[in-house]
Structure 1
Amino acid sequence: MSGKILIVDDLATNRIVLKVKLCSAHYEVVQAASAKEGLRLAAVERPDLILANAQLPDATAADFVKSLRRSDETRATPIMILQMTHCSAERRLALSAGADDVLSKPVPEALLLARLRNLLRQHHGEQELSLQIGSTQALGFAEAPPGFDAPGRIGIIARTRAGAFGLQTLLARYSPHVTSVIDADRALSFSDAPQQADVYLLQITGAEAEEGLRLLADLKAAPRSRARPIIALVEADAAALGVTLLDMGADDVITGPPDARELILRLSAQLRRKRRGERLRRALRDGLNAAMLDPLTGAHNRRFALPFLQQLIETSQLSGESFAVMLADLDFFKQVNDRHGHAAGDRVLCEVTHHLRAHLREGDMLARIGGEEFLIVTPATSRRRAQRTADRLCAMIAQTPIPLASGLAPLHVTISIGVTMATPAPTRPAASVGQLLEEADRALYAAKAQGRNMVTFCARSAA
């Protein structure tokens, strides 16, 4: 199945006709004869999309959409409204209430299915991101109420300057958004500019149909513009391109002269969707970072460090470059907590992390893998260089006072470091992660036993 669609229409013949079309396209269909029944089934069936008649016996289209948007189960569900006859006021009310699309009958079957595919593609993309970060509501991703959108940047692309500036004038009259006219031949270079558009308006005529399709494909492929919504404004002589444009990635298609206020509503909806997607992706990146970083110090954690070390073992086996593995442990750290409190201990850990990171190379890896224990991995490092690095870190920590709360004297702490070298050789098997950590730990134990605040190498390094 391609997805589950709820049809809401009081006329049985309309529901039957739609069901036949949708079932032939491999959709599962659920039917309701009223707004009340539609709301109940939407909550129970959890459809992927709701397709409703604009004229229901117990609610207007706008009221039905508002009710759906108030429900947790259907707040993000795509909603398409079908009008029996074109009515601009009704269309605007439905879009303002939160409908994703409004179509006037008769709608060619190919165009209807393309619109459905387009809305479902957008919805399922957001769902996949939401599932990876958890509940969107818990993280504050509920749809913002219409009318509270910050202005966006709208890029107008048209072959004729008259057409582009006509659209710009139209938008300026009704919209708070900032518009700019982009020459079609420079559209892709513009997408690489620092202030690229949030949403593109792409005007296409029948005479320039091929170039319009190519530009849409290029915008959807370019790194800086592919995540930006594109609304295709198709003149009447190019109406047949609607299905192709939607299937190529256009986020919305408007045929014929646009109604200015409806265009603003559609632009604002695409802008909200774009910003919602950015928040979802940002939350996903933050979640991935949180999974790999120690929350106190900001250093990498064990979950990141061990796979990093395993990958370095494999790449070094191919390159033949040696690398160093160090375990650094704060000396007498328990005394810091006992004498000055855990807040002071946390401050020491954070400051030590900061100083260690500042004295390592860009490609080196620093991780906190225990209470006061750090793992340091320095790729492409000789034994001599590893010795200099470890000595420098040890001396730097000993010489750097750590400030505490106001009125308290700074603390002086030291670290002990155990080092082992991994030197790949074609005649020997590669060292394992466990072997390297065990050798570095033995060296660290030796440094502690010999008086602390020093660097000790493992007596027998791993191959």
Structure 2
Amino acid sequence: MSARVLVVDDVLPNVKLLAAKLTREYFDVITAYNGPEALELVRKESPDIVLLDVMMPGMDGFEVCEKIRSDPDTMHIPVVMVTALSDVADRVRGLEAGADDFLTKPVNDIALFARVRSLVRLKMMMDEWRMRESTSGQFGVIERSGTLRNESFERARVLVLEDSLLDLEKITETLKRDHDHVMSANTCAKALERALSDDLDLVVISLTLMNEDGLRLCSQLRSHERTRQVPILLVVDEGDLNRVAKGLELGANDYVIKPLDRNELLARARTQVRRKRYQERLRANYEHSLSMALTDSLTGVFNRRYVNAHLPRLLERAIDSHKPVAILLFDIDHFKVVNDSFGHTVGDEVLKEVSNRASRNLRTFDLVARLGGEEFVVILPDTDVEAAMTVAERLRNQIANSMFKVSADIGEVPVTVSIGVAVGGRLGDSSEGLIRRADEALYEAKRSGRNCVIADPRSDFQGVTAPAPAP
């Protein structure tokens, strides 16, 4: 896996050494020698990861990290502090400033490459979700999610795998400072069962189990859809870097070294919970944006954009399978009179009820959409003209034969629709042509006195059809 790495250190030999190691592993390396220069390169070059020295004159690494994390455009870039400092308090300070990890000089190559690759994979995933959110924002559908640092880390659901009662007590007591739901298991099987039955925010896995390999659980969690995105924090013995590297390769997100420091454990756990919740917010925003982009906000049915994307694929499948696809194009008769007489609020109530009646009693794979104004379409796969006419006539009756209750003083109003039917599925048919033919039939229905159904004369397609929906 290649990536662009920014190496920041005020000592030239340190920069050259790290750059040489990374270049041999085919990373693209850029360098900076002080904090302001690093921040400028972060904004201009958008590196995939920053390896940041702590002890620099002027602006130290802690301040640089805080500035990276406070900028919404750069907050997602992983930062690893590379330092001669080995005090736990310094590590905690760096983690609280937003660093993803600490590497102590002289840097161990196994730890360096494992951490860089793990964090770059994470950034690539986050970049994809951020890009989708940004695209949705350009359409004015949603607002951006804010910063990762603003996410809450409290009240998470945490599972701990540890078979040492002493270590388990220390871990759970520490995590309970932030979280109400800290569960435990002493075997991989019990932990996996618990993880698959619960919605977890973090899993803490000890790699010092007496009779089992915690990496096995790490692999199993990443192989199940339900737990694939749950952060994993490993607990390891000092010096066990080979297993740390293997764990990161399997998908673990971070690790903490024994003997455990409570503040460091809390800081690393908070980072993982925040990141998970930020990612969930990005995903939820994207899914919400899709829903908003493809559905009509008033009636809740699909909109024209969805029809334009869906109908060509449906018609292509119909042509390949020699099965017809029918559309019913209809609009509300004299809808302007409803708006002018009773106001747009009543008009909206009528539109909602029309869409509700159109949606009832259709098959699960049929589709209703509002094209705009008072115009709707029903798409019926595997339906010939005879079955389509049956559905259209039933829809016309459902609307015309029962008054519409409204909030105006009148209490209820009569509503009718005119419907044009067209069926396609022949080689050469297009979605635009099919809609145009239905529109011509709809126009003919209006000329024939409205409140009626007219089929396009070219809709005599015969083929294998699914039964029309029951009345």
Using the size of structure 2 for normalisation, the TM-score is 0.87
Tell me the SS of whatever aligns to 1:325.
strand
Tell me the SS of whatever aligns to 2:449.
coil
Question: Where does residue 329 of structure 1 map in the other structure?
Answer: 331
The answer to whether the 8 A contact 2:339-2:346 is kept is yes
Question: Where does residue 216 of structure 2 map in the other structure?
Answer: 214
Shift of 1:399: 3.5
Question: Where does residue 153 of structure 1 map in the other structure?
Answer: 157
Question: Where does residue 140 of structure 1 map in the other structure?
Answer: 145
CA distance in 1, matches of 2:431, 2:395: 23
Shift of 1:269: 0.6
Question: Where does residue 126 of structure 2 map in the other structure?
Answer: 126
Question: Where does residue 236 of structure 2 map in the other structure?
Answer: 234
Question: Where does residue 28 of structure 2 map in the other structure?
Answer: 28
Q: Alpha carbon RMSD of aligned pairs, Å?
A: 2.8
Question: Where does residue 207 of structure 2 map in the other structure?
Answer: 204
Matched, 1:46 2:50: no
Shift of 1:270: 0.7
Q: Could you give the per-residue CA deviations for residues 336-373 of structure 1, whole angstroms, max 9, x where no partner exists?
A: 23333444333322231122123423211011124221
Change (3 A) 1:322 1:67: closer
CA distance in 1, matches of 2:439, 2:67: 63
Question: Where does residue 468 of structure 2 map in the other structure?
Answer: none
Shift of 1:272: 0.8
Q: Which moved more, 1:233-242 or 1:323-332?
A: 233-242
Shift of 1:81: 1.0
Change (3 A) 1:15 1:222: same
Matched, 1:349 2:351: yes
Residue identity (%): 32
Q: Which moved more, 1:219-228 or 1:236-245?
A: 236-245
CA distance in 1, matches of 2:209, 2:240: 4
CA distance in 1, matches of 2:172, 2:234: 18
Which residue identity is paired with 1:445?
A: Y
CA distance in 1, matches of 2:365, 2:167: 49
Shift of 1:109: 1.0
CA distance in 2, matches of 1:268, 1:400: 58
Change (3 A) 1:172 1:69: closer
Change (3 A) 1:307 1:85: closer
The answer to whether the 8 A contact 1:35-1:64 is kept is yes
CA distance in 2, matches of 1:110, 1:237: 11
Equivalent pairs counted in the alignment come to: 455
The answer to whether the 8 A contact 2:159-2:195 is kept is no
Change (3 A) 1:178 1:107: farther
Q: 1:224 aligns with which of 223, 226, 232?
A: 226
Q: Could you give the per-residue CA deviations for residues 423-459 of structure 1, whole angstroms, max 9, x where no partner exists?
A: x6xxx64743244323322332232122211222333
Change (3 A) 1:381 1:46: closer
Question: Where does residue 444 of structure 1 map in the other structure?
Answer: 442
Change (3 A) 1:355 1:88: same
Using the size of structure 1 for normalisation, the TM-score is 0.88
The answer to whether the 8 A contact 1:401-1:411 is kept is yes
Shift of 1:104: 2.2
Shift of 1:323: 4.1
Q: 1:188 aligns with which of 189, 192, 206?
A: 192
How do 1:168-183 residues align onto structure 2 when only pairs under 5 Å count? Answer: 168-172=171-175, 174-182=177-185, 183=187
Change (3 A) 1:429 1:55: closer
CA distance in 1, matches of 2:422, 2:8: 70
Question: Where does residue 451 of structure 2 map in the other structure?
Answer: 453
Q: Which moved more, 1:268-277 or 1:29-38?
A: 29-38
Shift of 1:138: 4.9
Change (3 A) 1:5 1:460: closer
CA distance in 2, matches of 1:274, 1:172: 17
Question: Where does residue 259 of structure 1 map in the other structure?
Answer: 261
CA distance in 1, matches of 2:183, 2:414: 59
Tell me the SS of whatever aligns to 1:396.
helix
Tell me the SS of whatever aligns to 1:191.
helix
Q: 1:280 aligns with which of 279, 282, 291?
A: 282
Change (3 A) 1:186 1:462: farther
Q: Which runs of 5+ in 1 are unaligned?
A: none
CA distance in 2, matches of 1:172, 1:255: 16
Tell me the SS of whatever aligns to 1:224.
helix
The answer to whether the 8 A contact 2:69-2:76 is kept is yes
Change (3 A) 1:192 1:462: farther
Q: Which moved more, 1:257-266 or 1:398-407?
A: 398-407
Tell me the SS of whatever aligns to 2:205.
strand
CA distance in 1, matches of 2:39, 2:430: 59
Which residue identity is paired with 1:254?
A: V
